[in-house]
Structures are given as C-alpha cells and as structure tokens.
Chains A and B, each alone.
Chain A
Amino acid sequence: MNESVISLKSGTVALPSAPRAPRLCPALRARLRAAGALADRHIAWALPLLLLLAWELSTRLGLIRPLFLPAPLAVAQTFHDLLVNDRLWLDFTVSVVGVLRGFVVGTAGGLLLGFMAGASRTVDRFLGATLDSIRQVPPLAWLPLLVLWIGAGSLAKTVIIAKTVFFPVFMNTLQGIRGVAREYIEVGRVFGLGRAQLLRRIVIPAALPGIFTGLRFGVGLAWATIILAEMLGGRQGLGYLLTRAQELLLTSQLFVVIVIIGAVGLLIDKGLRRVEARLLHWKKGFEG
C-alpha cells in the first residue's frame, strides 16, 4: 500500500503518501496543544470544581438535606454573615496569632537545642533521653495538666504549639547536622577552619535542607494542633467556632470553618515552600 509505484502513464515515481490519519490544520493543532497545556497546568482545580458542582446540584435537587450538607452558596452566605455579624475575624486572628507565637517559640528552642546537640555529643546525650520521653506524650495529652496550671488561655496554647513545633525542628536540625557528609567536613579542615567557622560555613548550610523539612512539618502539625486544642478547651479560635457550630447544629458554619482551616494550612505550606525554594535554590534533586 505504501510502496512506491511506478506509474505507467507518466513514468514518474509516485512517492508513498503519508499514512491517512485525520489531519488537522496546523493552527488548530497548535491551539489544541495550547489548550492541553493550559488544562494540564490547572488540573489541580478540576476535581474540586467538579465536586463543588455535584454538591450544589445534589442539595438543590433535594437529594440531600441541607442539615447534613448545605449547598456551597449557602455556605458562602454563612461565611459572609459570620464575618460581618459574628466574631469570625476575631477567632481567625486568635488562631493564627496563637500558631505564630507558638511557632516562633518552638522553632527558636528547636533550632537552638538542635544545633547544640548536633554540635556536641555530650549535649545530645544529656538531653536525649529526657526529650525522647517528653516527645512520646502527644501535645494534647499535656492540655489537662496545662489548663490546671496556667488556665485555658493563650499561654497554654502557646506552650502546646511550641511543644508541637519544637520536636520536628529539633530532630531535623540534629539529624541535618549529623548527616553532613564527611567529605564536606574534610574540605573545611583542608582550609584550616576552626570549629566555629566549620559550623558556620559548612555544617549549617549543608544541614539547611533538613532543617527546612523540620520547619514545614512542624508548622503543619502546629496548625492542626491549635484547632484541636481550641476544640477541647477555650472560648476563642477557629476550633472553638467548630465546637459551637456543632452544638448548635449549624452545619454551614462547620463548612465555613473547615474551608478556612484548609486554606490557611495550604497558604502556610506554600509560603514556606517559597522561602525554601529561594534559600535552597542550589539544591537539585528528583523533580518528578
């Protein structure tokens, strides 16, 4: 079929024609490809949008009672009401500031002790067993005791969050420092660096990727923990709003708060990722 055929009439060689696939004009093809690329870039939005659509429709068509699943538009209305007529903004700031405060304290402690334990085996042995024991008790298990000692105020929250952030930061800093390749240490020695210089110019930069993993992990955990802490005790914060909505059977308020919690968590992680990308731009690895 595709072989060359010598036409008897003209005596010229008829070249085999290209396989007969449906051919699009180049402009259309380019446009399709561009659309494909666009779709690929925004693929993350497709599933949530579809779910949202199905959700709105199912409630509107009366398939599900709004008590169980209020329609998205109703949730949006509730969001507006909560923000304008209720205390959503206050609770939002309480949670965010609470996390920030605990995060700063926990990170500072984790970095400091992590560096010290990383730099000195003695410090590591001195702290190791104690910290490991404390670590085994989940942050929220400390809550009753803390409430007893210092009440259910913002100080208790700060302590809980600081504890939550401390351990991932501490452990990743320690491991990051211990995991610095001997080869790099040797480079430092070849240039005659003293201990302080070695730490500053070789060990810390090399440990930075590990430290960042700890930070990101810690802050994610902290955000989840503060919500839980507020649900368990306290009269303020997004977690408290959840409990209140639950008790009053205000399902659409539940949704508002859940969406906010998710969005804030996502923003925190994206922000840290961006800082990381800028700080660790030299790092190359598997990019998927």
Chain B
Amino acid sequence: MVTPPTVPPRPTAADRDAAVELRARQVSKRFPARRGGDPLLVLDHVDLDLRHGEFISIIGASGCGKTTLLRVMAGLEPDFTGSVELGGRPVTSPGPDKGVVFQDHRLLPWLTVADNVGFGLLNRPAADRQRVVEKYLRLVGLQNFARAYPGQLSGGMAQRAAIVRALVNKPRVLFLDEPLGALDALTRMHMQRELERVWREERVTVLMVTHDVEEAIYLSDRVVVMGSRPGRVKKIIPIPVARPRSREHPDFLAIKKELLTTFSLEAREYFSYEI
C-alpha cells in the first residue's frame, strides 16, 4: 500500500497573484471546420497560472491540445479567445521574452552552432555576443562544437544547443514543446538532469509539454493533466518531492501511479476501449 504524497498547504490567493508570471484565463481555441463540418474545439476555457521561477509540465494523450495550449501561451497562435498575460501584459505575438524549444531542434543548418546560439543577440556588439554565446555553450558542454554545423551534431547535442539558443535572451518564460521527445531513452534521462540544472542556474519560469509521465514528475513543481476533446485542464498535481529527485523515491512512485491512473482513465475515454 502506497501512502499518498503529502500536499503542502495551499498559498493564499494574494500570495499566488503576487508571483504569477504567466497567466492564461478562459483560453479557448478552435481550428476551422473542414469540408462543412463543425469547427474543432481544441481548447475549452483553460485557466493556468505559472508562478515566477516555477517549472510546470503539461501531460495528456496525443491530440489533447497540450501543444496548442503551449503555442497560444507563447504567442504563436493568433486566433484564440480568452486572455494570456505575461507579467501583467497581454501576449499577442511571439518575441524574445518568450523562449521556445520545439520537438525538432530547428537549428538553422547554414549557421554554426555558435551563430545559432547567438541568433537572438545580433543587435548586441560582437564581443558581448561572443562572451554570452561562450558562456551558454559551456553551460551545456558544447564549447568545443562552437564552429560545428548542426548537421554534424547528435540529436542530444542539437537539442542542448536549441535550449541555450532559447535562453540567451534571458526570456521570462521558457516554453518547451516535447523538447526531448525525439531522443533515445538514455540520452533523454541525461538531458532531463541537464535541463533541471539549466533551469536552476537560470532561474527561468518553464512551461513544458511532454507525454512522458516520469519526465514530468522528475522535472516539475506542478504537473497539469489535460483531458481531450475538447482540451481542458483536468487536474493539477503538485510534486512536493525534494530535488534532486530520485525516480525510486516512494513519493515519486506514488505520484507516478496516481498520474498514470488519471492518464489511463483519460485515455480510455479517448480511445473508447480498455487499455
């Protein structure tokens, strides 16, 4: 019998408001109808708050709208209803204060790794830029690959470069859209540790989409479980396990079990058969 994890006392509404960095209120998003059908409701009145410095993961079955929610909050989806605010200001477009890492690294193949990482810094003096790029390459152990081209990197290395490329502008929020999804299991675990370290050192607020329950628990302060069709926030689960986390810790395992249960109930609805 596993004891349920203890949940810390909820902070008051005033506490939370003071530190909220990114806030989504009643966000709904429809994709236009195809061939006379009804428009597809992808997100249905979603509320979500990210506190300053918090690491939040969204998990959910594929097609539940989690990536769409991330894209809306990052300013990448123009048409939605409801509001998204970053530091109290409405988010209407992407920009350097919102770093984004996609599932595919999307490094520009015609630039060296250093130029890719410094892509967001072109308005700064060259010496300054070089210093910042060097610092970030070192942060993810790529200092010896500064002059390499993306085509010469392994998947894990390319994704590390993509992560620091999103960080050089010191964004207020870092959006990670299944950033480790394309990596093999071992590289992935290594990258999770790396990501946690980078997050701690940079003290950035992170919103990550993943379909990996363990990854979400390992990294997040809170895990948002989304239900599908239409996508809504089904449950928000705090992860009060001390860092650095052990995947074998009883609390870790208990939360994992709880999440998997929620998840499979959801999946059963979604696929309408037993799994």
Contact = CB atoms under 8 A, between A and B. Distances in A.
Contacts of B166: 190
Nearest to A187: B106
Contact of B108 (A190, A192, A205): A205
A68 interface: no
A106 B122 CA distance: 34
Interface in A150-209: 183-184, 186-187, 189-192, 201-202, 205-206, 208
A70 B93 CA distance: 73
A191 B106 contact: no
A187 B95 CA distance: 10
Contacts of A206: 108, 110
B102 to A, nearest CB: 7
Contact of B95 (A186, A192, A284): A192
Given A282-B151, A284-B151, A190 B110 contact: no
Interface string B141-168: 0000000011100000000000000100
B199 interface: no
12 contacts: A183-B102, A184-B108, A186-B76, A186-B106, A190-B100, A191-B119, A192-B93, A192-B94, A205-B108, A282-B110, A283-B110, A284-B151
B106 A183 contact: yes
Given A186-B94, A202-B108, A282-B150, 14 more contacts: A183-B104, A184-B106, A186-B76, A186-B102, A187-B119, A190-B74, A190-B76, A190-B95, A191-B120, A201-B119, A201-B122, A205-B108, A282-B151, A283-B109
B110 A205 contact: yes
Contacts of B119: 187, 191, 201
B98 interface: yes
Interface of A: 183-184, 186-187, 189-192, 201-202, 205-206, 208, 280, 282-284
A267 to B, nearest CB: 27
Contact of A282 (B74, B93, B94, B149): B149
Contacts of B95: 190, 192
A208 B169 CA distance: 28
B76 A189 contact: yes
B96 interface: yes
Contacts of B120: 191
Interface residues of B, number: 24
Sorted nearest first, the 3 A-B pairs with minimum C-beta distance are A192-B95, A205-B110, A190-B100
Contact of A191 (B74, B96, B104, B149): B96
Contacts of B122: 201
Interface in B71-106: 74, 76, 93-96, 98-100, 102, 104, 106
Contacts of A186: 76, 94, 102, 106
Nearest to B119: A191
Contacts of B111: 282
Contact of B96 (A187, A192, A201, A284): A192
A183 B107 CA distance: 10
A187 B104 contact: no
A205 B150 CA distance: 15
Nearest to A191: B120
A123 B55 CA distance: 47
Nearest to B107: A187
A191 B107 CA distance: 13
Contact of B94 (A184, A190, A280, A284): A190
A187, A206, A284 — most chain B CB neighbours (10 Å): A187
A230 to B, nearest CB: 40
A186 B70 CA distance: 14
Nearest to B95: A192
B151 A190 contact: no
A190 B109 contact: no
A183 B122 CA distance: 20
B264 to A, nearest CB: 32
Interface string B110-130: 110000000110100000000
Contacts of A192: 93-96
A282 B149 CA distance: 7
A284 B148 CA distance: 13
